[in-house]
Structure 1
Amino acid sequence: MYRSILLCYDGSVEGRNALREGAEVAQAMQAQTTLLAILRPGLHPVVPEGYTESWFTHQDAAARAVLEEGVGWLRERGIAAEGRIAVGNAVEEIVAAAHALAPDLIVVAHQQRSRLARWWSDGEDATLLDRLTCSVLVAVIPPAQRGIP
């Protein structure tokens, strides 16, 4: 059913849950698997003076570490995964990767946000499903595992 899977991973608790769920599907389907780590740049299109080359180098190293962690975890479980790093808006990068790779399934994590965070959000996650032409698995951590009664 799923021949190609795109796993979106950020190293968070929610991301690890999505990685685990995506890995189970990939193993069951023996699917070609790509892991996408997305580095989100600063909020402004013009680089502020406070950002130095050292900051960008650190961010790149952090993204590579997250990617290597995820790909290594998948390979330990017998999944031959390819890794990719993207820089930019998460929704835009997932959509671009989906167009380039044409996966049958995309696996993303769901992160709970407060009402205030939703209100201040730029709304980017509201458009992801509308822009994809494949199935999407949204991995959600059960309340008991999040420490919610």
Structure 2
Amino acid sequence: MYKRVLMPTDGSACSLAAIREGLEVAKTLGAEVTFLYVLENPTGLWMAPESGAYVQELVQDLKTAGQTALSEAEKLAKEAGVPSSGKLREGNATATIVDEAKNYDLLVMGTHGRTGLDKLLLGSVTEGVLHRTNRPVLVVRSR
């Protein structure tokens, strides 16, 4: 039934909780897992001309954080005995995850469960994916 599982991660404790749950499901089903880290381009945020010199350094730092998150996820998969791979993509997180999801049977995502002003200001990638994908999504709420 579910043989290919996509697990987006941002490296947060919430994402790691979802990965741990998702790996248990994948192991039970004999599924393979792909971890996805989406690097959102920060250049639109840096409008001042003097900040341009720092954008490349910031992008490299974000890529390093993404590789670290993927490495940690793949380490957990290896320990669980689940075949896995990692992908780092650039773009809007919600749109990129929805696009990638077309190639998978199941998505596993974490959510912080924010409400009110926090939700309004910080948004929810998981909620955006839920509204835009036709794939099943297992949502793991952060404790």
Q: Give the match for residue 91 of structure 2.
A: 88
* TM-score normalized with structure 2 length: 0.85
SS at the partner of 1:7?
strand
Q: Give the match for residue 11 of structure 2.
A: 11
Q: Give the match for residue 54 of structure 1.
A: 57
Q: Percent identity?
A: 29
Give the distance between the partners of 1:13 and 1:123, measured in 2 at CA. Answer: 15
1:56–1:19: structure 2 CA closer, same or farther, 3 Å change rule?
A: same
5+ long unaligned stretches in structure 1: 143-149
Shift of 1:124: 5.5
Q: Give the match for residue 81 of structure 2.
A: 78
Mapped pair 1:105 → 2:106: yes
Give the distance between the partners of 1:133 and 1:93, measured in 2 at CA. Answer: 14
Give the distance between the partners of 2:68 and 2:124, measured in 1 at CA. Answer: 28
The one-character-per-residue Cα deviations of 1:7-53 (angstroms, maximum 9, x if unpaired) are: 11122111111001100010000012111112222172777642332
1:53–1:44: structure 2 CA closer, same or farther, 3 Å change rule?
A: closer
- Between the two proteins, the alignment pairs up a number of residues equal to 140
SS at the partner of 1:10?
coil
Which amino acid counterpart does residue 67 of structure 1 have in structure 2?
A: L
Farther-moved stretch of structure 1 (123-132 vs 78-87): 123-132
Give the distance between the partners of 2:137 and 2:67, measured in 1 at CA. Answer: 24
Which of the pair is proportionally richer in helix? 2
1:116–1:52: structure 2 CA closer, same or farther, 3 Å change rule?
A: same
Which amino acid counterpart does residue 128 of structure 1 have in structure 2?
A: V
Farther-moved stretch of structure 1 (21-30 vs 86-95): 86-95
Shift of 1:65: 0.9
1:124–1:23: structure 2 CA closer, same or farther, 3 Å change rule?
A: closer
Which amino acid counterpart does residue 117 of structure 1 have in structure 2?
A: D
